[in-house]
Amino acid sequence: MDIDQHYSDHMEETSLLDQLHQRYPDGPTLYQLAPIDQLHIGGIKASEKLLQQLELIQPGRILEIGSGAGGLMRMIRSQCSAEIIGIDITHRFNALNSAITRLTRIPASPVITCDAQQLPFTNNSFDCIIFQHSLLNIPDTARCLQECHRVLDNEGSLLLHEVLEGPDPQRMHYPVPWARSADQSHLISYTALYELLQASGFQLKRAENWSEEALQWRQRQAEKEKEKKTEAPQISPSQILGEDFNKMGPNVIANLTEGAVEVWQLSCIAKG
């Protein structure tokens, strides 16, 4: 199964959109959408931290690689004046992204179905590129980073909120939200990523290991999910990821606890 199938084969977009429209006739807020469009570890709070980085650098043209259901794009579009384009290799994600935005009062932004290893943009098209749990689905990290450097202005920013390989990768449990098996997961270590960033023309400005915070967040989410099982049907990540989500959440906790994965935020500058 390829990565497009991993996401699109289990997506219940029609019933999800109907549910959103019925539950929020005046349009859902970003926080009401969070269970299905903030699927990364750390949820909407992690996205808010990325927005703090954007406030510091004040970019004018942003590319989000792996925009998924569009949660981060909508947050950026609602809170700053920058132009933003999203890309994702899963076309059904892009269609869902646009459909959810139409339910909100947030202006739409372009979303394009394409491969991040071959970006359909001219040189120096952006001054900021963002990854949020998307590098982990890209087989050729080096080629992707080289493409990012090509389409970024000199001194442009590269922001990454990513799951990386931990010190004990052999303890990895599947399925996880980004992969149902090892062949769909393309994690690399922090050291390997640092070396690839340097080789691709990026200077690392800041790196933070968020693993402990990510683990605490996932544990809190697990408690909330137990409580919701006794309530009326809720908007849930399972509407995107399928019934395997019931295994994915506990596996993320196990993988963080056992050192199979780590969660990092990195901030880099493109050098000419």
Dump pLDDT digits (tens) for 118-169. Answer: 999 999 999 999 999 999 999 999 999 999 999 999 999 999 999 999 999 9
Reading the block at residue 163, the tokens are 């799951």
Give the up-direction half-sphere exposure of residue 159: CA atoms within 13 A in the CB hemisphere.
23
What average pLDDT does range 21-43 have in this prediction?
Answer: 93
Query: Is the bond leading into 110 cis (omega within 30 degrees of zero)?
Result: no
What average pLDDT does range 191-214 have in this prediction?
Answer: 97
- Single pTM value for the model: 0.95
**How many residues does the structure list for the chain?**
272
Helix crossing, 13-23 with 91-103: angle to 10°?
Answer: 10
Q: Looking at 2-6, 36-40, 88-92, which range is the least confident one? A: 2-6
What average pLDDT does range 95-124 have in this prediction?
Answer: 96
What is the reported pLDDT for 1? Answer: 58
Question: Is pLDDT above 80 for 232?
Answer: no
What is the reported pLDDT for 233? Answer: 63
Mean residue pLDDT of the chain comes to 94
126 vs 105 pLDDT, higher one: 126
What average pLDDT does range 25-45 have in this prediction?
Answer: 93
Backbone torsions φ then ψ of 194, nearest 5 degrees:
-60, -45
What is the reported pLDDT for 178? Answer: 96
Among 78, 96, 74, smallest CA distance to 8 is for 96
What is the reported pLDDT for 13? Answer: 92
pLDDT tier for residue 240 given thresholds of 50, 70 and 90: very high
pLDDT tier for residue 188 given thresholds of 50, 70 and 90: very high
3-270: CATH topology is Rossmann fold (3.40.50)
pLDDT tier for residue 252 given thresholds of 50, 70 and 90: very high
Question: Is pLDDT above 80 for 69?
Answer: yes
What average pLDDT does range 32-54 have in this prediction?
Answer: 92
What average pLDDT does range 93-121 have in this prediction?
Answer: 96
By percentage, how much of the chain surpasses pLDDT 70?
97
What is the reported pLDDT for 4? Answer: 86
pLDDT tier for residue 80 given thresholds of 50, 70 and 90: confident
Question: Is pLDDT above 70 for 228?
Answer: no
What is the reported pLDDT for 229? Answer: 61
Give the up-direction half-sphere exposure of residue 192: CA atoms within 13 A in the CB hemisphere.
12
Question: Cα–Cα distances in Å, from 264 out to 123, 206, 214?
Answer: 28, 10, 9
